[in-house]
């Protein structure tokens, strides 16, 4: 009887792993927080609209995420906090102000936003369990991103932030 429980458990784990591999999900380590997500799905949606979104960006001299102090050299212990803040930022500020007259682009933005919302829920769970400690350095880095964003009008800042999504995705993939 005990052996059958072991094999049932083993079978369940194998099925779960196969499901994760089939949908492209990978486990990301943001400090102590472990999140399963499909960055390739988000990247695919973004790649489909990247040129369109970046062509709408009227300000080429300013960056929101590429600033010297934004995502560079984030300590492992601060990654959970900053990624939690960034997903809140994208869901609460960026996606709300990114609409175009192109329905295809809007559908892709909506799909990316839904993926972010799903991941945000997982991050909130980590944050609520006090796994995401926010140190002074991570708060300074996030505040720099907010300063960069708030230095532009809302629509331009949202378009620019969405156009820089590949910077965030690259940073996340390096965190694996």
The per-residue pLDDT for range 72-96, each reduced to its tens digit, is 778 888 888 889 999 999 999 999 9
pLDDT, position 3: 55
**Lookup: tokens for 97:** 């102000």
* pLDDT interval class at 67 (50, 70, 90): low
Helix (H, G, I), strand (E, B) or coil at 29: strand
Lowest pLDDT segment from 5-9, 47-51, 164-168: 5-9
Residues 6+ apart with CB under 8 A from 14: none
The pLDDT, as a whole number, for residue 21 is: 41
The DSSP string of 123-172 is: HHHHHHTT-----HHHHHHHHHHHHHHHTS-HHHHHHHHHHTHHHHHHHH
For residue 116, tell me if it sits in a domain.
Answer: yes
The pLDDT of residue 176 is 66
With respect to residue 13, please indicate whether it lies within any of the assigned structural domains.
no
Q: pLDDT by residue (tens digit) across 97-120?
A: 998 899 999 999 999 999 999 999
Average pLDDT of the chain?
83
Domains in the chain: how many in total? 1
**Inside any domain, residue 78:** yes
CATH number at residue 51: 1.20.1250.10
**10 domain-assigned:** no
Instruction: Identify the residue with better confidence: 69 or 132.
Output: 132
The whole-angstrom separation of Cα 156 and Cα 149 is 9
> Is 156 a member of any domain?
yes
Residue 11 lies in a domain: no
- Kindly state whether residue 99 falls inside one of the protein's structural domains: yes
> In this prediction, what percent of the chain has a pLDDT beyond 70?
84
Instruction: Quickly state the pLDDT bin for 44 (edges 50, 70, 90).
Output: very high
Q: Residue 5 has what pLDDT?
A: 53
pLDDT number for residue 17: 42
**What is the C-alpha end-to-end distance of the chain, expressed in Å?**
39
Q: Domain of 97?
A: 26-174
**Helix-strand-coil split of the chain, %, nearest 5:** 70, 5, 25
Residue 14 lies in a domain: no
pLDDT tens-digit readout, 123-161: 888 878 887 888 888 888 899 899 999 999 999 999 999
pLDDT digits (tens, 9 = 90+) for 11-28: 443 444 444 444 467 888
């Amino acid at each position: 009887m005990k052996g059958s429980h072991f094999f049932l458990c083993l079978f369940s784990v194998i099925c779960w792993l196969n499901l994760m591999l089939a949908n492209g999900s990978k486990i990301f380590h943001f400090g102590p927080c472990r999140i399963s997500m499909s960055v390739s799905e988000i990247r695919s949606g973004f790649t489909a609209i990247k040129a369109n979104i970046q062509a709408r960006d009227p300000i080429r001299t300013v960056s929101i995420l590429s600033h010297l102090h934004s995502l560079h050299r984030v300590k492992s212990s601060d990654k959970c906090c900053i990624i939690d803040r960034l997903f809140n930022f994208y869901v609460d500020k960026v996606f709300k102000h990114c609409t175009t007259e192109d329905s295809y682009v809007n559908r892709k933005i909506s799909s990316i936003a839904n993926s972010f919302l799903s991941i945000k829920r997982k991050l909130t769970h980590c944050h609520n369990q006090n796994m995401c400690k926010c140190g002074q350095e991570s708060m300074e880095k996030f505040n720099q991103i907010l300063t960069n964003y708030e230095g532009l009008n809302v629509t331009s800042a949202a378009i620019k932030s969405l156009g820089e999504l590949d910077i965030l995705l690259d940073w996340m993939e390096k965190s694996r």
